[in-house]
């Protein structure tokens, strides 16, 4: 059913979300019209059909493969230094498409809202999602809203799914790391996890750590312009840098050797980790990617990364070796070595 024209002065009577806003009646329709349709504002969403209708010619003109991904966001707190759950939900899904070489185009948005959530909070989240989507060049074109009883959720959970197009000739895969390849990262490690830990206020710490939450699709396209044959690419979210490196090593049956002295970690993040007994290599990031590239292309890719705002602190942190296969070896500043294994359990719950 098409959405009727908005009525002048139409607004929601309540200041908080009620169960009626998820019941399918007038209250729900007003919520959708005044918060989501008005907030996301695009012609693919506004008809309010049960599905978004996308132009295949536009998609086929950009590549020969579709990429699709989905993720759920349950971060606590909803707002944190450098971002919020809305920015995170858009950037995280955009980045999952981008690291496959895809050009992100469309997102869906599913919201599970706890009864009693202030409408102003929801509007702030929607505005943040719109701003981040605009920055990434994507549109939020369909969605769903559910309201649950008080205590059945924690304020707000969001699911976003995304569709993108992979240009012809791009083949990025975690099993393509080869001996001699260089391993690159686009900046400081652990900022997001540290910012969330600090924002929870459980330790009464006061730092200036900001989450690195941001879309990385423009950076990835810049990197691919410098080297279309990037072998591996992934954003280091839950499980951090160490987890992604292990995934590359195991999928490629190779050894990744990392130089501890090259790892870019802020002093504030190191200090927080020492206080809380955390390892920054396992902390979540929301604006960092790891790339494995041919050695002869490393300088060109690094130069391209450093010219982009999302990659100005990019560095080479190691290389791919033949043995021991399936492992990540951290070479320390004292001349020793240690195995960097997969994380067992979770250092910090609900960080994304």
Helices marked H in the chain: 26-31, 38-40, 56-60, 85-98, 119-136, 191-199, 217-226, 240-252, 267-276, 298-306
Is residue 164 within 8 Å of residue 97, measured between CB atoms? yes
Dihedral angle at the C-alpha atoms of 300, 306, 310, 313, nearest 10 degrees?
Answer: 120
**Sequence ranges of the domains in the chain:** 19-166, 182-339
Cis peptide upstream of residue 77 (ω within 30 degrees of 0):
yes
pLDDT at 205: 72
Number of neighbours of residue 349 by Cβ within 10 angstroms: 9
How many Cβ atoms sit within 10 Å of the Cβ of residue 307? 13
Residues 347 and 238 sit within 8 Å (Cβ to Cβ): no
CA angle 79, 313, 260 (to 5 degrees): 100
- Taking Cα atoms as reference points, which of 183, 170, 191 lies closest to residue 99? 170
Query: What pLDDT score does 305 carry?
Result: 98
Topology (CATH) of 19-166: 60s Ribosomal Protein L30; Chain: A; (3.30.1330)
Instruction: Give the model's pLDDT for residue 104.
Output: 98
- Please give the CATH architecture assigned to the domain spanning 182-339: Alpha-Beta Complex (3.90)
Return the pLDDT at 10.
54
Angle among Cα 352, 291, 266 to the nearest 5 degrees reads 60
Residue 135 has phi, psi (to 5 degrees) of -65, -35
Name the maximum alpha-carbon separation found in the chain.
71
3-state secondary structure of 264: coil
pTM for this prediction: 0.94
| Residue 289 Cα to chain centre, angstroms | 10
DSSP state of 2: P
Contact 302, 314 (CB under 8 A): yes
**Contact indicator for 253, 325 with CB cutoff of 8 Å:** yes
Tokens of 226: 């410098």
CB under 8 Å to 335, separation ≥6 — which residues? none
Residue 5 has a pLDDT of: 41
The closest of 236, 239, 196, 216 to 84, measured between CA atoms, is 196
Whole-angstrom Cα distance, residue 90 to residue 120? 19
19 φ, ψ (degrees, to nearest 5):
-60, -25
Ordered per-residue pLDDT tens for the chain, 352 residues: 334 444 434 567 689 999 999 999 999 999 999 999 999 999 999 999 999 999 999 899 999 999 999 999 999 999 999 999 999 999 999 999 999 999 999 999 999 999 999 999 999 999 999 999 999 999 999 999 999 999 999 999 999 999 999 999 999 999 999 999 999 999 999 999 999 999 998 766 778 899 999 999 999 999 999 999 999 999 999 999 999 999 999 999 999 999 999 999 999 999 999 998 999 999 999 999 999 999 999 999 999 999 999 999 999 999 999 999 999 999 998 889 999 999 877 778 899 9
């Amino acid at each position: 059913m098409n959405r009727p024209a908005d009525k002048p002065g139409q607004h929601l009577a309540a200041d908080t979300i009620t169960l009626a806003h998820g019941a399918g009646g007038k209250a729900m329709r007003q919520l959708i019209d005044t918060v989501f349709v008005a907030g996301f504002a695009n012609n693919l969403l506004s008809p309010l059909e049960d599905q978004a209708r996308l132009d295949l010619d536009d998609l086929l003109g950009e590549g020969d493969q579709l990429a699709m991904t989905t993720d759920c966001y349950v971060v606590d707190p909803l707002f944190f230094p450098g971002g919020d759950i809305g920015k995170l939900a858009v950037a995280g899904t955009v980045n999952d498409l981008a690291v496959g070489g895809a050009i992100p185009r469309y997102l869906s948005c599913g919201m599970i809202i706890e009864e009693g959530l202030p409408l102003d909070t929801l509007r702030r989240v929607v505005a943040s999602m719109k701003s981040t989507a605009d920055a990434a060049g994507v549109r939020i074109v369909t969605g769903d809203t559910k309201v649950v009883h008080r205590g059945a959720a924690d304020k707000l959970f969001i699911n976003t799914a995304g569709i993108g197009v992979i240009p012809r000739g791009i083949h990025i895969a975690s099993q393509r790391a080869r001996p001699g390849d260089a391993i690159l990262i686009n900046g400081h490690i652990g900022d997001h996890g540290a910012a969330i830990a600090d924002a929870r206020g459980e330790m009464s710490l006061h730092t200036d750590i900001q989450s690195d939450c941001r879309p990385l699709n423009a950076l990835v396209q810049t990197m691919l312009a410098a080297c279309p044959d990037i072998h591996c690419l992934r954003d280091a979210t839950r499980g951090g840098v160490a987890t992604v490196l292990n995934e590359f090593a195991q999928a490629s049956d190779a050894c990744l050797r990392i130089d501890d002295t090259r790892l870019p970690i802020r002093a504030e993040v190191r200090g927080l980790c020492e206080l809380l007994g955390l390892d920054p290599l396992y902390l979540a990031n929301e604006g960092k990617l790891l790339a494995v590239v041919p050695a002869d292309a490393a300088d060109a890719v690094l130069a391209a990364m450093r010219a982009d705002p999302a990659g100005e602190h990019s560095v080479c942190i190691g290389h791919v070796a033949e043995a021991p296969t399936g492992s990540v070896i951290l070479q320390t500043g004292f001349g020793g070595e240690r195995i960097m294994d997969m994380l067992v359990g979770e250092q910090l719950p609900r960080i994304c």
